[in-house]
Amino acid sequence: MTKYSVDFKLKIVKENEQGVKIADLSKKYTINSSSIINWIERYEKYGLEGLRIRSSGYDYDGKFKLKVLEWKKVNQATHSQTALKFDISNPGTIANWQKKFNLLGPEVLLSRQSRIPENKSKIVQLEKLKRENRALLIENKYLKKIQALTQKQVIWN
């Protein structure tokens, strides 16, 4: 992802304030309109500081991540709205937290090792096998029950 300078972001925000539509700015500078909207919203809420580039690898506490996801859920907010509320510069960060939370549960956000394992397909395959195993166990119990009932019926006749 390209990181744009504060001056460049400010230039685009100011052009928008002067009446240039977001779609036109997006075409003119070949920038995703959602990025432009994010810059405008961050500038409106936090001023020039909202456009500054943070150092990469900004580390958020696990409890904070869960608090953010809870707020997002309760308020039925988008990633962008949530990022703006909690001063998280990239809404994609919240999307990543949500993905990890949905895939591996809240523990992954609380642990220091919050990376999703490289081979996600193994996790997905394991979950699929667990579901299949449960279904087979249920089917097995069902068939045993039918067999027991038919044996009782034979004995009664």
User: Hey, what are 7's tokens?
Assistant: 């001056």
Q: Say whether 40 sits in a helix, a strand or coil.
A: helix
| Contact (Cβ atoms closer than 8 angstroms) between residue 111 and residue 62 | yes
pLDDT confidence tier of residue 2, bands split at 50, 70 and 90: low
| Residue 112 pLDDT greater than 70, yes or no | no
Cα distance between residue 148 and residue 3, in whole Å: 69
User: Closest Cα to residue 66, out of 97, 39, 35?
Assistant: 97
pLDDT confidence tier of residue 135, bands split at 50, 70 and 90: very high
* Contacting residues for 92 by C-beta, under 8 A, at least 6 apart: 79
pLDDT digit string, tens, across residues 33-57: 989 998 999 899 889 888 887 766 6
Average pLDDT of the chain is 86
List C-alpha distances in Å: 48 to 11, 40, 77, 127: 11, 10, 24, 46
The model carries a pTM of 0.56
Give the CB-side neighbour count of residue 75, counting CA atoms within 13 A: 14
pLDDT digit string, tens, across residues 68-109: 999 999 999 999 899 989 988 888 899 999 998 888 888 888
Name the residue type at position 151: Q
